[in-house]
Amino acid sequence: MKPIAMILAGGEGTRLTVLSEERAKPAVPFAGKFRIIDFTISNCVNSGIYTVGILTQYQPHSLNEHIAIGKPWDLDRSRGGVRLLQPYLGRRGQDWYAGTADAIFQNLNYVREQRADTVVVLSGDHIYKMDYRPMLDFHQESGADLTIAVMPVPIEEAHRFGIMEVDEQQRIVEFYEKPSEPKGNLASMGIYIFNTHILERRLVNEETGKSRVDFGKHVIPAMLAAGDNVFAYKFEGYWVDVGTIDSYWATNLELAQPTPALDLYNQSWPIHTKSEEFPAVKLGPQAKVVSSLVSNGCVIRGVVNNSVLSPGVYVSPGAVVTDSVVMNGTWIGPGALLDKVVVDKQVVIGAGALVGTGDASIPNEQMPDKLASGISVIGKNAYIPDRAQVGRNVLINSRRDEKDFPADYIVADGKTI
């Protein structure tokens, strides 16, 4: 078996609001020093898969710069290695990727060039550690044309996933893509293993001659209808979709607990990333750090409690950061308070500013479905004026500064700037 991995990394991640405004969701920083896509790429190389195509589309610049030639993952190879695959206009009607399946269809030439007999299709926006080799073995031994990784999810969450029914041999007998009233809770993880020749055939609709758009909506139902061997592989490890502000915030802070479900310190399965050169963390005489992840280059002169700090964050004397995720290069002024806030890169929090204070039950006016649990979000390169007061469920967009704030610098709960 000669597998190739194809990582779908072109998603907008709109539920992450301003965090994915200028970058694709897989490029969003996570757990201090990593990006979300680092987990999927590291799973590939740790599983012995060294030919990896990464399909980008939406705001790819940050992702392209991060991956480059793949050196941190040992993917800077003359044979195989990593290839960034972007949509392009061609004489045969190539265009923007219309969906997950269409993205693979438009890159079948790359698959053929690698002479792979097995294609592992992965999502670049999930947090998990998984050895793909047992799943590849199961795929081969069961004689499957397609194997889908599955795990049970809470029944109230099942409507967000592809849900399936299986028989005693783990053969999939029914598949429902994001059903409004799910009959079960066995959910697709968005991890597929295809036999290459079957994949090539099923990516095309035989009646229209055009590519099928989406795996969950079109390809998998077509394979079941055609009588192909489609099996489920049950995964019992840790796996999280950090596609919402709530899950992104909670999954980050969970890592600060004494024994989190996701162990980043197990050297037998390392998560690789592109690291910037920073000096060691520096703690001042008034510093206090409790149950937190603090990345290289941070200077802490205030209090950090149950929070995650990316490289190069500065916490001034008298500042208090609680239950927050703070990204690279942010400066937090003297006496400032952050409580339950997600802060993007290169933000300045002015002296004495109070961010995350108020009534958590008032949802964001513009995005009540995305910001309703008390978390406030500050976009990249924003400037929070000295002594400003920012409430709960507030969204401050990228590059906002003093002139964008009300005259009294008070931003009420649920407002957007």
pLDDT per position as a tens digit, 160-184: 899 999 999 999 999 999 999 998 9
To 5 degrees, how large is the angle CA 177–CA 179–CA 184?
100
* pLDDT at 112 (0 to 100): 94
pLDDT digits 0-9 by tens, 299-315: 999 999 999 999 999 99
> pLDDT band at residue 209, thresholds of 50, 70 and 90?
confident
Handedness of CA 375, 125, 12, 15 (dihedral sign): negative
**Does residue 392 contact residue 358 with C-beta atoms inside 8 Å?**
yes
For all residues of the chain together, what is the average pLDDT?
A: 95
Write out the CATH class of domain 279-417.
Answer: mainly beta
Is the confidence at residue 94, as pLDDT, over 80? no
Task: Identify the CA nearest to 117 among candidates 52, 14, 198.
Answer: 198
Is the confidence at residue 95, as pLDDT, over 80? no
Q: Alpha carbon of 177 to those of 149, 180, 216: distances in Å?
A: 15, 9, 6
* pLDDT at 91 (0 to 100): 45
3-247 folds as Spore Coat Polysaccharide Biosynthesis Protein SpsA; Chain A (3.90.550)
**Does residue 319 contact residue 337 with C-beta atoms inside 8 Å?**
yes
Non-local (6+) Cβ contacts of 129 within 8 A are 39, 43, 237, 238, 262, 269, 271
Non-local (6+) Cβ contacts of 74 within 8 A are 45, 50, 272
Alpha-carbon Rg for the chain, nearest whole angstrom, is: 23
Helix and strand counts by DSSP (H, E) for the chain: 8, 32
* pLDDT at 66 (0 to 100): 96
To 5 degrees, how large is the angle CA 169–CA 170–CA 174?
120
According to CATH, where is 3.90.550.10 located in the chain? 3-247
According to CATH, where is 2.160.10.10 located in the chain? 279-417
* CA distance linking residue 197 with residue 180, whole number of Å: 33
**Does residue 388 contact residue 411 with C-beta atoms inside 8 Å?**
yes
* CA distance linking residue 417 with residue 412, whole number of Å: 10
**Does residue 129 contact residue 34 with C-beta atoms inside 8 Å?**
no
* pLDDT at 92 (0 to 100): 55
